[in-house]
Amino acid sequence: MLSPADLITIPFDDWVTAFVRGWLVPNFRPAFRAAQVPVTVVLNNLNTFLLFVPMLLTTAVFAGMAWRVVGRGMAIFTLVGFAFIDMIGLWPQTMTTLAMILTSVIFCAMIGIPLGILSARSDRMWKVTRPVLDIMQTIPSFVYLVPIVMLFGVGMAPGIIATIIFALPPIVRLTNLGIRNVREDLIEAAQAFGSTGWQMLWDLQIPLALRTIMAGLNQTLMLALSMVVITALIGAGGLGLVVNTGLGRLDVGGATAGGMGIVILAIVLDRITQGLAEKAKVARLSLGASLMNLFRFRGSAPEGATKKAG
């Protein structure tokens, strides 16, 4: 049966290769190399700090955070889980993975939240941003690694850049959604009282959207955790390297140990960020008060809870 391919064949792969190798790499590789400097600085400092801090102190800090925002059960799980990771000899790799995740989430928040705010305030901006996010979320994660290696080389910093690109869409989408879902009558009331655009954003829209933004941060963190494991294929370290080394050598014990470390770290980070998102549901007409509320002791009555918006 006749098909379009019998008439016209499009060499799409050749076009992409010519674009990347023939134009993008020769002309912009120094710029891409320079762009990874801030990522490298943040990553190296975080990694050095986390490896310097004693294991017991790091465990106590995470257990305390889990107790405060989730509860006693999660704190006990954190103590037992981190002790298990240390006893199987994977504590340094776990801290390196944690540094990679935190670096990715920091840059995702720095890029994604302002981009989400701009998208929420401009329909034209959202029409441009939305298809880009669709493409970023549907491209298989392994596909990111090829252009990243060509433009940035191999190592931990290129792996973090691939992770940032992969994990960015949820925080942009949910920041946009949270701000757009702020009730119209509250915005009209703020306008009636003479609020400027900045005051309305800072004191009304962001506090009311904080729970949704925190949910986006949680999703970004989970995607970052999944991607930093894959980036071990281009030279990133941490628990991903343990898993990939185990797979390469058919070392089922080593691969399983690395996988258990990733699971424990994922559960702890997920529950803590989910707990923070739950605490953000007490809406306040002040961003500073909303952020302070996230770190109050569990069970304590929030100051001025009766000022819940809506």
Of residues 240 and 296, the one with the higher pLDDT is: 240
State mean pLDDT over 145-160.
84
Please answer whether residues 300 and 292 qualify as being in contact, where contact means their C-beta atoms are separated by less than 8 angstroms: no
Mean pLDDT of the chain: 84
Return the half-sphere exposure (C-beta side, CA atoms, 13 A cut-off) of residue 7.
4
> What percentage of the chain reaches a pLDDT higher than 90?
29
C-beta atoms surrounding 6 within 10 Å = 8
C-beta atoms surrounding 235 within 10 Å = 15
* Stretch (H or E) spanning 278: helix 252-279
How confident is the model at residue 310, as a pLDDT? 39
pLDDT digits (tens, 9 = 90+) for 211-254: 889 889 889 988 888 887 888 888 888 888 888 888 888 888 88
C-beta atoms surrounding 37 within 10 Å = 10
pLDDT band at 70 (very low <50, low <70, confident <90, very high): confident
Q: How far apart are CA 178 and CA 209, in angstroms?
A: 4
Q: Check pLDDT > 60 for residue 295.
A: no
3-state helix, strand, coil in the chain (%, to 5): 80, 0, 20
State mean pLDDT over 85-91.
92
How confident is the model at residue 64, as a pLDDT? 92
**Residues listed for the chain:** 310
